Amino acid sequence: MAGRDSVLITGCGIICAIGQDRKQVLESLLATRTGVGPLRYLKTGHTEFPVGEVKMSDAEMESSMGIAPGTPTTRTALMGMMAMREALDQAGLTAADLPRTGFVDGTTVGGMDKSERYYLDFIGNDSRNEYIGTHDCGSCSEMIADRFGRFRFITTISTACSSAANAIELAADMIRLGEADIVVAGGSECITKFHLNGFNSLMILDHGQCRPFDRDRAGLNLGEGAAYVVLESRESALRRGVKPIAQLSGYGNACDAFHQTASSPDGEGAYLAMMKALADAGLEPADIDYINAHGTGTPNNDLSESQAMRRVFGDCMPPVSSTKSLTGHTTSASGSIEAVICILALENGFTPVNYAFENTDEGLVVPNMKLEPDRPLRHVLCNSFGFGGNDSSLVISNVSEN
């Protein structure tokens, strides 16, 4: 069995509200430019909620991917293809490499964008039957994979907002055990009326720009997007002669086991996930130079996560920020979108800013408000927590740290 230093990241791709590729996302992060704004693409009556939409229509993404108009696809699958293309390109992978490459995807909404549009047709006639088969989570992953060739293995994790993080964990386990040399992992999720209304019914959407870790925080802004990382064994990367961009040093998954939608007051699940990730990486809290928090902006999450971070880091709290203040909460994709943001921070040496923070809350950590350029980062921690207490943490490291 391969050791903990064996899981390299040799490519990544991203699309979200602050950019349609790595370069655009990096520019937005360095300029602290939010992608949250008025609704533009989703057809809903709830125009009062700002969202972090990908600034492309389905037709524009289809055109970018060379998909003929009228081909059954979903927005989740289209965003996934955009991010997958960039990740495979950076890792230098072509169709010829895919039969020995796994794909672990994360989504929950799946093809709900089309199901909510054509539901009455599904019931009443046969005009939209081709979209019934694109409803479930797994079909999205298959559509994304099939665009590029024959992957050796495909599965889909659906643990709500930690789906993509857990996909990365399974992929890394596969590499460590030698089940595969290369596994692409992450998640994709578009905004739908279904979950915009679902989050609204739970009364956790902010009517303005979200303010993670702020005293007056009033909920989250929904976002959307996709991101994938290419995980690869050290031997395979050496053999192919590709340069790693980062390393996945450790990871942990734990269950809060408290409530279906609320986090525990002491953040037990979050605490356990972070402790497991640090132990897995063989690191001490002081080794972590930046935390990309789950930080949704809901009163409950930010309090619970702050308690958990204080329990883990005590007096050596590194800079913390929630980049959901820029991207919106990209739900099932957030784990990989924020993992790619962490990789960009490691590669370029800066700490992303927690946008829109104004007022300190005694019970919460004070997030990072100043972008420090030229700040070398060794190891960063990336948190993703989901409904039902599915909590996961990743430790991503600079390649020069090994």
Kindly list the catalytic residues.
Answer: 161, 294, 329
Q: Is 191 helix (H, G, I), strand (E, B) or coil?
A: coil
Contact, 365 vs 295, CB < 8 A?
Answer: no
Asked if residue 108 binds other proteins (CB under 8 A), the reply is: yes
Asked if residue 132 binds other proteins (CB under 8 A), the reply is: yes
Asked if residue 294 binds other proteins (CB under 8 A), the reply is: no
CB burial of 350-389 (b: ≥16 within 10 Å; e: otherwise) equals: bbbbbbbbeeebeebbebbeebeeeeebebbbbbbbbbbb
Contact, 21 vs 13, CB < 8 A?
Answer: yes
Provide, rounded to whole angstroms, the least separation between the CB of residue 54 and other proteins. 22
Instruction: State CA 258 to chain mean position distance.
Output: 23
Nearer to other proteins, 21 or 116 (CB): 116
Asked if residue 281 binds other proteins (CB under 8 A), the reply is: no
Extract the tokens encoding 306.
């702050």
Asked if residue 311 binds other proteins (CB under 8 A), the reply is: no
Nearer to other proteins, 60 or 130 (CB): 130
Size of the site for other proteins (CB under 8 A): 70
Provide, rounded to whole angstroms, the least separation between the CB of residue 323 and other proteins. 23
Asked if residue 46 binds other proteins (CB under 8 A), the reply is: yes
Cα–Cα distances in Å, from 239 out to 34, 183, 185, 208, 233? 40, 16, 21, 50, 10
| β-pairing verdict for 379-386 and 225-233 | unpaired
**Footprint (CB under 8 A) of other proteins, residues 368-387:** 386-387
User: Per-residue x/- marks for other proteins, 64-103, CB under 8 A?
Assistant: -----------------------------------x----
Asked if residue 268 binds other proteins (CB under 8 A), the reply is: yes
Provide, rounded to whole angstroms, the least separation between the CB of residue 255 and other proteins. 4
CA-based diameter of the chain, in Å? 63
Provide, rounded to whole angstroms, the least separation between the CB of residue 313 and other proteins. 20
Task: Select from 3, 69, 96, 126 the one that contacts other proteins (CB under 8 A).
Answer: 126
Return the bridge partners of 382, or none.
Answer: 292, 394
Nearer to other proteins, 21 or 266 (CB): 266
Provide, rounded to whole angstroms, the least separation between the CB of residue 270 and other proteins. 11
Provide, rounded to whole angstroms, the least separation between the CB of residue 112 and other proteins. 8
Asked if residue 180 binds other proteins (CB under 8 A), the reply is: no
Task: Select from 74, 158, 397, 398 the one that contacts other proteins (CB under 8 A).
Answer: 158
Asked if residue 219 binds other proteins (CB under 8 A), the reply is: no
Contacts (Cβ under 8 Å, ≥6 apart) of 105: 80, 140, 141, 144, 145, 154, 155, 156, 157, 167, 185, 186, 187, 188
Q: Give dist(CA 20, CA 342) in Å, integer.
A: 17
Provide, rounded to whole angstroms, the least separation between the CB of residue 333 and other proteins. 15
Extract the tokens encoding 142.
């298959």
Nearer to other proteins, 154 or 317 (CB): 154
Binding range to other proteins, per CB under 8 A, among 158-166, 316-324, 343-351, 377-385: 158-166
Contacts (Cβ under 8 Å, ≥6 apart) of 323: 29, 292, 338, 341, 352, 354
Extract the tokens encoding 16.
């979200």
Nearer to other proteins, 11 or 106 (CB): 106
Nearer to other proteins, 155 or 300 (CB): 155
Contact, 273 vs 256, CB < 8 A?
Answer: no
Task: Select from 92, 138, 208, 285 the one that contacts other proteins (CB under 8 A).
Answer: 138
Extract the tokens encoding 155.
């599965």
Polymer length in residues for the chain: 402
If we measure between CA atoms, which residue out of 319, 324, 307 comes closest to residue 372? 319
- Please give the residue ranges that form the binding site for other proteins (CB under 8 A): 1, 44-46, 99, 108, 110, 112, 115-116, 119-120, 122-123, 126, 129, 132-133, 135-139, 141-142, 145, 150-160, 166, 170, 173-174, 176-177, 179, 193-195, 197-202, 253-261, 268-269, 272, 386-390
